[in-house]
Structures are given as structure tokens and as C-alpha cells.
Amino acid sequence: MATDREDPARVRDRTALFGAREGNDGIIRCDACPVLCRIRPGRAGACARYANKDGELIRTDPLVLLESGEQSFVTGIGSGTTYPDYKPAPFIVGGTHEGVDTVTVVTEGMFSYCGLKVKIDTDRHLGDETAAIRVGGEQIGHVTSAEYGSQMLSLGGVRHLVGGSKKEGNATCNAMLALANREAVEVSIDGGATILLQAGAQPIVNGRPEQRMRVGCGSAAIGIFAQQWHGHVDEVIVVDDHITGVLSEHQAGKCLDIPASGIRIRGRRSTPGRYFQVAHPGTGWGGTDITNPLSIIESIDPKIARPGLRLLLTSTTGEDFLYVVLDENLHPREAEAPAAVAETVARIGENCEPALTSILFMAGAGGSLRAGVTENPILLTRAVQAGQVRVTMGGAPCYLWPGGGITIMADVLRLPRNSFGYVPTPALVAPIEFTLSAALYAQLGGHMQHVQPAQGILAEYAAQARHEAPHPENPWPIAP
């Protein structure tokens, strides 16, 4: 599946490109990565990506072609790598799009500098910020700053892959590979939860599937639903780990002329109707450790409160709620919620999005990988930064970080299945494509003598390739 480095019109066997025969016993030394496996006939290398078939080195995974109508795009999946990096990329594809001559440089990068950014839609407290995340006892990442309605994890990175023990590196590589390929992996957080992660699936926290992403913080929920509560309840407390809201004190309640209830809650008061630190973080109501919401009531002022006062306590997802009425002694007594009140709680749930796990692959496409594109790598970097080169991974769009280098992120769900591999160094192997005009490629000092017409490559590999339809939300990779 590689192309001829001497004669672009002719495809040579892979042994001449990625390996060398050793002696007369049929063993091939594979140089597709720094491990340099010696592969016997009928066996595969340590990564299982290359094998020795009758004395020839072959790629065990097929090349993946994206097809949309009459258009085809050669992806980096199954293309092979450029290691050792004096080689031009495995495929340098020439084509025409909307009258413009284009070149797409196709390869697979070996990334030690890579990681996964994981977004988990839940209010549950999964672990303290910076807490270690482990698989099989080995640290593979850490908890990072939470975002609105989501907990965030950072997995992988060069320190865990190569900076620790061999066991740590292998555990990190295996977990990242599985997650990037959309498989499920169970992780544990020091002092926190056990989570089953899978891209595009519900997160399962301590064996319990998460259902909803919160509608907003406690204060936001008050602002959204105050009008709908007005007249049906006298007070509402929306329990939240970050900002717990109290209707009668909140500006929304003031605008509706809702009188004070005399109910004071625990926590540090911020602005009117907004309280911080009402409880410790946890997996209970609103991401707190609360299982009994009445425990956050610090006092009830008999000079203001009255018997019969109607109080609704709810979480930010509406999954947990309690309706109470104050008795003659001003003690909260649980009661059946009137239909109008139950309807407002259902409306909270209606406004919550489904809880999902999202995983982005992040890597630095620097170093010698760029030598497979051009003889002067800095020119490629500058052209990418200037927006003159489209970078895709398996045809999926990438977000390019500003600043130096080529630091990219891609949603693993936007790539075809099983797009990622590994090498035992350890490092992940990921497809990457650089698409630009043929004129610019020549200006960058690209390997013009190795450009092959797309039609020739498609004719050569169509029968053995894996054909995939592009993700419906992805732009066509070579479209302007």
C-alpha cells in the first residue's frame, strides 16, 4: 500500500519501502517504527500492523478510502508511516477540485506527544481537580477543570507514555488506543468515582448510567423557571454544587414580587439568591454529597415563615426533587406535589440534554513527520498556521491550536472506526492528511516527483481497500 519512491507511476512491494530481508530464512526487519521488529514468515510484528507474508512485508490493515458520490479521498488510515523519516509520505495524491490542481499528502503519524481530552456530561463529582486517573492501578491521566455541566479529564500525554515505568506507558497506550477507537474503558479516580468511558455513550458512574446534563446552575434554573413556579409554590431551592439558587431572594423572584419565605440555607452567600459551598462535592443532589435536601436548611425564621408555606427543592436536572409544606410548628412535611409543580420539574428534565461522553484526540504533528511532506518542514508549519493547508485526520476536520507548531484536535467520532493504531515504543499511530494547492506544494519544496494521480492510486488499491462513506457532518476533505 505504499508508493514507488523512485518511479511514481509504478507501485513497488512494501518490503522495499518499510523493511529489509535478513539472510535466507525469510525474516524481514520492519523499519516502520523505531522498534525494528524481526518478523518471521507468517507472523506479524509487535504492533500487529505489519506482517511477513511469503517473505514480503505487508500491511495487515487495509487502506481506507472515503467515497461520496463520484468523489474519493485517500485517507491516512492504513497508509503506513514515513519512519525513518527521510522518506516521502506513503501517498502524495494529485487531483483536481473545482478546477484547482490539488495535492494531498497522506500518512500515519506516530505520536508520543498525544492525549485525549474527555468531556463527561454530568453534575456528579467524579474526583478532585488534579486527582490521578488510573487503569489497572497505573496512572494514565488526571482530572482537570470542570466546565459548565460537564466534568473534564485529561488522559495520556508524553509523560505517561514514556516518562514513567514501562507498565505505566503500556497501560496508557492501551487505554488511549481503545478509547480513540470508540471502545469502552473503565477508569478509577483516586478518592473519587469509577467511570466506564466510551465516546458517544452515556457515562456510567459507579455502575449507574448518567441520564442528563444539567439545565444550568442553581441560579440559572431559578432564572429560567421562576415565572413557571410563580403562584404554585412559595419558595424554591435548586441544589447545586457550584451555585445553589433560592427563588425568593433571587433577582428573578424580586421581579415577580415573591415575598421572603424566612427559610435560610447553609453556605456562603454570593449575590442575592445565590449561595456557594452549601455542601461538599459528591454524587448526590446537584453534584453535592446531599441525599437529604432538607439538611441544607440552616433555619426557618418564625417571624417571616408561616404554616402552609409551600417549598420545592430540586436538583439541576430534575432527577431529584422534594415538595414539602410547613406544618403548624414550621417543620417541613413531605407532601404530594400538585400537578402544576410536578410539571415544572418535568420541564427541567425536558430542558436537559442527554448525558454523553465526548473524546477528542489531541497531538502535536511536528518533528520529523513533516519531512514526509516537504524538505523544509518550517514552510509546511507556516502554511498550516496561515490557513493555506487543510489538515484532516482520516478525512475528519481538525481544530488547529494557535501559536507555534501544528497542534491539532479531532473528535474521534468524526473519524472512521478503528482509525488508530499503536507502536510498542509506546505511541499511538493516527492518520493525518495535508491538502493544499499543487502550486503551493511546489513553493513549499514538496516532494513533487512523488505526486501520483488519484485515479492511478484508486485503480491500484480499490479492490483491497476499505470503503467508507464520510461522516455526514464532515466537510469534504479537499473542499475549499
Q: What are phi and psi of 60, to 5 degrees?
A: -80, -25
What does the alpha-carbon distance between residue 294 and residue 291 come to, in Å, rounded to a whole number?
Answer: 9
User: What DSSP line would sit under 113-144, residue for residue?
Assistant: SEEEEEEEE--S----TT-EEEETTEEEEEEE
Looking at the structure, tell me whether residues 147 and 203 fall in a common domain. yes
Of 41, 60, 79, the last residue of a domain is 60
User: What DSSP line would sit under 311-350, residue for residue?
Assistant: EEEEESSSSSEEEEEE-TTS-EEE-PPPHHHHHHHHHHHH
> Distance between the two ends of the chain, CA-based, in angstroms?
28
Q: Which residues, at least 6 apart from 99, have a Cβ–Cβ distance to it below 8 Å?
A: none
Counting every residue written for the chain, the total comes to: 480
Question: Does residue 425 form part of some domain?
Answer: yes
Q: Which three cell numbers stand for residue 307?
A: 404554616
Looking at the structure, tell me whether residues 166 and 246 fall in a common domain. no
Of 162, 181, 212, the last residue of a domain is 212
Looking at the structure, tell me whether residues 249 and 344 fall in a common domain. yes
Q: Is 302 exposed, middle or buried (0-12, 13-18, 19+ CB in 10 A)?
A: exposed
Domain count, the chain: 4
Nearest in space to 411 (alpha carbons), one of 478, 453, 362: 362
What does the alpha-carbon distance between residue 50 and residue 65 come to, in Å, rounded to a whole number?
Answer: 19
Can you give the residue range of the structural domain that contains 294? 218-354
Looking at the structure, tell me whether residues 129 and 205 fall in a common domain. yes
pTM, rounded to two decimals: 0.88
Looking at the structure, tell me whether residues 11 and 42 fall in a common domain. yes
Looking at the structure, tell me whether residues 320 and 247 fall in a common domain. yes
Residue-wise pLDDT tens for the chain (480 aa)? 233 333 333 333 333 455 666 666 889 888 777 788 899 998 988 877 788 988 888 878 889 999 998 899 999 999 888 776 668 999 999 998 888 899 999 999 989 999 999 999 998 999 999 999 999 999 999 999 999 999 999 999 999 999 999 999 999 999 999 999 999 999 999 999 999 999 999 999 999 999 999 999 999 999 999 999 999 999 999 999 999 999 999 999 999 999 999 999 999 999 999 999 999 999 999 999 999 999 999 999 999 999 999 999 999 999 999 999 999 999 999 999 999 999 999 999 999 999 999 999 999 998 778 999 999 999 999 999 999 999 999 999 999 999 999 999 999 999 999 999 998 889 999 999 999 999 999 999 999 999 999 999 999 998 889 999 999 999 999 887
Pairing mode, strands 274-276 and 268-269: antiparallel
What does the alpha-carbon distance between residue 144 and residue 118 come to, in Å, rounded to a whole number?
Answer: 10
What does the alpha-carbon distance between residue 238 and residue 245 come to, in Å, rounded to a whole number?
Answer: 5
Question: Does residue 476 form part of some domain?
Answer: no
Angle at 476 between CA 470 and CA 480, to 5 degrees: 170
Looking at the structure, tell me whether residues 78 and 206 fall in a common domain. no
